Amino acid sequence: MKKIIFFVALLFLAFFTHTGLAQELLVLSGEKSQNSKRWQEEVFPEYGKSALGRTLPVKIVPVKGKLFPGWMTKALDEGRVDEILGTPTFIIWDTKKEKEIGRIEGYTQKPLFFSQLNEAMSLIEKGKHPGKREGSGHREEGSGGETRHEEGSGNSSNIMDHSYKTPEEAKEASKMLGLGEEIHSHETAEGTIYMPGSTM
């Protein structure tokens, strides 16, 4: 009986470990992005030692100017990665299916990052896709294509139509959209943009 229990436990452990390692965290890091740099200084040194880091290894994907690495551009063009609006963007990548299964956008502080990543992993376990975006296929650091570069789009109720040059403008839009005054920022090739709502 002990051998059977040991064998079942071993199988469970092997399955759990195998499943966890079938994913990795891709960190799209802009060469001029201050938030990307902060994440690398504040989180990266200890990430590999964390519980998440042991089951979700990290891979930094450099975004230089307006270009993604070739394999990432191909994944964007094929729709295996959703639209990228800015850096840093943290993509939870299924290494077997070679596609995005979740994401976090932007970085503000270490505790919030770990909280958001834990929440994203929990949603993935429930079969959901946290942070899913519509559209894909562009090559600009921090850009979602031509329409995403426009500043706030007036009275649109679609949050994706809103990007602003100042935090104050984003807070006003956040209030209009019923999101309180929550905002987040993204580093783009043109500088920092601010958007209503949290990053999750």
Q: Quick: pLDDT tens for 46-103.
A: 999 999 999 999 999 999 877 889 999 999 999 999 988 889 999 999 999 999 999 9
In a domain, 9, yes or no: no
CATH number of the domain where residue 115 is located: 3.40.30.10
Identity at 110, one-letter amino acid code:
K
| Higher per-residue pLDDT: 181 or 175 | 181
Q: Are residues 170 and 131 in the same domain?
A: no
* Final residue of a structural domain among 136, 152, 168: 152
Which pairing describes strands 58-63 and 23-30: parallel, antiparallel, or unpaired?
Answer: parallel
| Cβ burial, residue 81 (10 Å; 0-12/13-18/19+) | buried
Return the closest-CA partner of residue 160 out of 183, 180, 181, 134.
134
In a domain, 6, yes or no: no
Q: Are residues 41 and 115 in the same domain?
A: yes
Instruction: Give percent of the chain with pLDDT exceeding 90.
Output: 46
Residue 156: predicted pLDDT: 43
Identity at 183, one-letter amino acid code:
I
In a domain, 15, yes or no: no
Q: Are residues 124 and 145 in the same domain?
A: yes
C-alpha to C-alpha distance for 92 and 104, rounded to whole angstroms: 8
Total domains in the chain come to 2
In a domain, 74, yes or no: yes
| Higher per-residue pLDDT: 154 or 70 | 70
DSSP 108: -
Q: Are residues 105 and 170 in the same domain?
A: no
> What's the pTM value of the predicted model, to 2 decimals?
0.61
CA distances from 149 to 2, 23, 44, 103 (A): 63, 31, 29, 21
Q: Are residues 119 and 176 in the same domain?
A: no
What average pLDDT does the segment 180-198 reach? 78
| Higher per-residue pLDDT: 161 or 66 | 66
β-sheet with 99-105: strand ranges across: 58-63, 23-30, 89-94, 99-105
> Using one digit for the tens of pLDDT, what is the confidence trace for 8-36?
444 444 444 444 458 999 999 999 899 99
Residue 150: predicted pLDDT: 26
Residue 67: predicted pLDDT: 85
C-alpha to C-alpha distance for 20 and 68, rounded to whole angstroms: 26
Find the Cα–Cα–Cα–Cα dihedral 151, 156, 161, 166, rounded to 10°.
Answer: 40
Q: Are residues 50 and 140 in the same domain?
A: yes
C-alpha to C-alpha distance for 47 and 33, rounded to whole angstroms: 20
Return the closest-CA partner of residue 79 out of 125, 138, 7.
138
Tokens found for residue 184: 């987040």
Q: Are residues 110 and 173 in the same domain?
A: no
C-alpha to C-alpha distance for 97 and 131, rounded to whole angstroms: 18
- The domain of 140 spans 23-152
